[in-house]
Amino acid sequence: MKVNPRRLPFYVTLFLFVLLFGFGSVRYTGFFSVQVFLNLLIDNAFLIVVAIGMTFVILSGGIDLSVGAVVALTTMISAALVEHHGWSIGVVVPLVLAIGALFGLMMGVLIQVFQIQPFIATLGGMFLARGLCYLISIDSISITDPVYTALSQHKIFVGGGNYVSPSVVIALAVFAAAAWLAHCSRFGRTVYALGGNERSALLMGLPVARTRVLVYVLSGLCSALGGVLVTFYMLSGYGLHAQGMELDAIAATVVGGTLLTGGVGLISGSVVGVLLLGVIQSLITFDGTLSSWWARIAIGVLLCLFCLMQRFLGRTQRGASLPPPGTHKPAQRSDAGAKDAAPSALIMQSHALPPFN
Amino acid sequence: MTHPARIRALTGHRLFWPCVTLILLCLLNTWFNPHFFHLDIRNGHLYGSVIDILNRAAPLMLVSLGMTLVIAIGGIDISVGAVVAISGAIAASLIGGTLVIQNGAPVYVTKVPMLLALLAAVGAALLCGLWNGLLVAGAGMQPIIATLILMVAGRGVAQLITGGQIITVYYEPFFFVGNGYLFGLPFGLYVAAAVLGLLLLLMHRTALGLFIEAVGINAVAARLAGLNTKALVFGIYAFCGAMAGIAGLIICSNVKSADGNNAGLLLELDAILAVTLGGTSLAGGKCSLWGSVLGALIIQTLTYAIYSMGVPPEINLVVKAVVVFAVCLAQSAAFRTMLFQRRLFQRRTGAQS
């Protein structure tokens, strides 16, 4: 059987996941059970949703650093509206989802229309969303609303006394929808084309501008939904929730085999990536002697290995005759490529001027 | 030079807007605190709000100077916050966190000589920088991703060094680095000034400035012109790491403790913001060292203003977000085109007729 080299990181991650889970099962008693696996899903449902949004952004060749902050803002708004204003969950959840999408729209417009680098624009978004959390309240707001508490404690039994939380069902539904969107829809194909080569996508007549904005809207929406799940999980709203979640989401996406330059990757890869991060966390918890910071170091090492693997694959692919979508791009992608696509020569000209002119 | 031309030369200067911003912020501070510019001499050194701002801005200045060079070669280093934490953790754990009292008076003990501890901390930071350089120049990774690795793992390493605890330092001579005064001014300021002076010398008196600009504008062309771009990129990431290390020492000494989790948190973002505020384009190429120093001062003055206004310091983030967006839009060609489209259009049609 011939394995597509582009899929190799995905298979490596899947293999690593099985390996680590097997290692845990042999090493620690009680590790090998369906419930431990389901707990991985329960504890990481929100990260799965956020990482799926991030995958679309990275597939399009961008990056979104604001996701963790949007998650925190969502928990904060939900908690404030439910607790302090007595709104019902049926109003709050659609509202926060709309706010997340609107936030993504703002990021997308800044990136697409004003040609601001995604890194910087979403960095500003991160500051803004975290700051807005503290505008609502500096302290944590705990949620005592009966519907929220019922949802957070609800167990859906899947046979054999094992259960999942409603969040897992939502996350799996998002996974199914995202997989369809990425691999079977016109939008998904445009995202891959955009990440593979923006100029080609533009010349093919694909709606590049609209797609890029929509990708950030999708990421904002996923972050907000992730925030709703975090609200269920934590039963509180706090500006410090989900600190560093953007890094976890990026790490899961990269480990799942999505190429950071865009154009190559699978939605299922990111889900396996999240599970891999989760199983590392569980191993450390089960071990008991290892401290929690080993998880961060392990994630860093994994990230490094996968990035190096991507580089290596990128180099070997350069000579091989592979189909064009997502062809290898130089690592230090200069922004000139993106600017070239802009039809106006005036933009090019004025870009050469020093800032603040 | 005629009068309007002189004004245009002034407003066209790349440091004009950062200066104006800083002056406005100072005026804002004076509005809330009439004694803002008031300076005292207490215990033989200068004392006042301005000195306080300069002192607190010193670590950010150092990190921003390193970041300026990294951004000038078209890269970015988002691991500086983690490097700050690592450097502080090493210094604090080597100097040791025990208070020894002999005959009723505290004795200053250190596990290893302080100079050695400081060198080890900066050396470790330099290694972090070299690692980043290796990934970017050697393996050819995207700078954001290469430094993201250390950003994720670095905090874990820092916590590993401190054992997950906040190490409090009791060794008095160490406090001089972050709190000491030399000839009436904070010591950290001299460090920042020395680095700035050295960089200005290297950038303007040697070919280094030209090389950096060449790599930032077009790395491939620079390499084809015979420049050893890999060595240059490697060296600059190492330098940025070392700067973060020194900043880490100052911060650690200033708060007299090392916290692997929170030391230098979001510092990388502040440094990038300072560099951007100073007028250095994130696309690489031209950079302004003085601009980055001004940028760091602007951020610190803004923080000070927010504190003195009595609003919760967390609001700082919203203000920073607004500043980031404003600066980005000001740098955005598309935004400027949109603003000036009508005027340009009129000028063009006027020229044709």
pLDDT in tens, chain A (357 residues): 566 777 888 888 899 899 988 888 888 888 888 888 898 999 999 999 999 999 999 999 999 989 999 999 999 999 999 988 888 888 999 999 999 999 999 999 999 988 888 888 888 898 899 889 988 888 888 888 888 888 888 888 887 788 888 999 999 999 999 999 999 999 999 999 999 888 899 999 899 999 999 999 999 999 999 999 999 998 888 888 888 788 889 989 988 888 888 888 899 999 999 999 999 888 888 877 777 788 888 888 888 888 888 777 766 654 443 333 433 334 444 444 333 333 333 333 333 333 333
Of the candidates A121, A295, A350, the beta carbon closest to that of B333 is on A350
CB contact under 8 Å between B328 and A247, yes or no, is: no
Distance from CA of B42 to the nearest CA of A (A): 36
Q: Kindly report the CA angle at A116 between A356 and B18, in degrees rounded to 5? A: 25
Q: Would the CB atoms of B145 and A135 count as touching at under 8 Å?
A: no
Nearest-by-CA chain A residue for B73: A332
CATH classification code of A5-317: 1.10.3470
Q: A356 to chain B, minimum CA–CA distance in Å?
A: 6
Beta strands in chain B, from DSSP E residues, in sequence order: 40-42, 45-47, 100-102, 105-107, 167-168, 181-182, 185-186, 257-258
Query: What are the sequence ranges of the domains in chain B?
Result: 49-338
Q: Are B159 and A291 an interchain contact pair (Cβ–Cβ within 8 Å)? A: yes
Of A247, A332, A342, the CB nearest to B152: A247
Record: contact B155-A138, CB cut-off 8 A = no
Taking the CA atoms of residue B209, residue B214, residue B216 and residue B222 in that order, the dihedral angle to the nearest 10 degrees is -140
Phi first, then psi: what are they for A301, rounded to 5°? -65, -45
Global pTM reads 0.81
Determine the residue of chain A that is closest to B140 in CA distance: A331
* Best to test chain A binding among B220, B331, B345 (most A CBs inside 10 Å): B331
Interface test with A, best of B71, B78, B83, B142 (most A CBs within 10 A): B142
Tell me the pLDDT tens digit for each residue of B12-65: 677 887 888 888 888 888 888 787 777 777 777 777 788 888 888 999 999 999
Q: How far apart are CA A192 and CA A198, in angstroms?
A: 10
**Contact state of A116 with B316 under an 8 Å Cβ cutoff:** no
Lookup: tokens for B58 = 């010193």
CB contact under 8 A, A114 and B142: no
- Chain B: closest CA distance from residue A242 (Å): 14
> In terms of CA atoms, which chain A residue is nearest residue B330?
A356
Chain B nearest-CA residue for A107? B325
ipTM of the shown complex: 0.77
Nearest chain A Cα distance for residue B212, angstroms: 15
CB count within 10 Å of CB B223 equals 15
Q: Are the beta carbons of B318 and A128 separated by less than 8 Å?
A: yes
The C-alpha of A311 sits at a distance from chain B's nearest C-alpha, in angstroms, of 7
Residues 6+ apart with CB under 8 A from B142: A260, A261, A331, A332, A333
Domain borders along chain A are 5-317
CATH number of B49-338: 1.10.3470
Q: Distance between the two ends of chain B, CA-based, in angstroms?
A: 31
Residue of A nearest to B331 (CA): A355
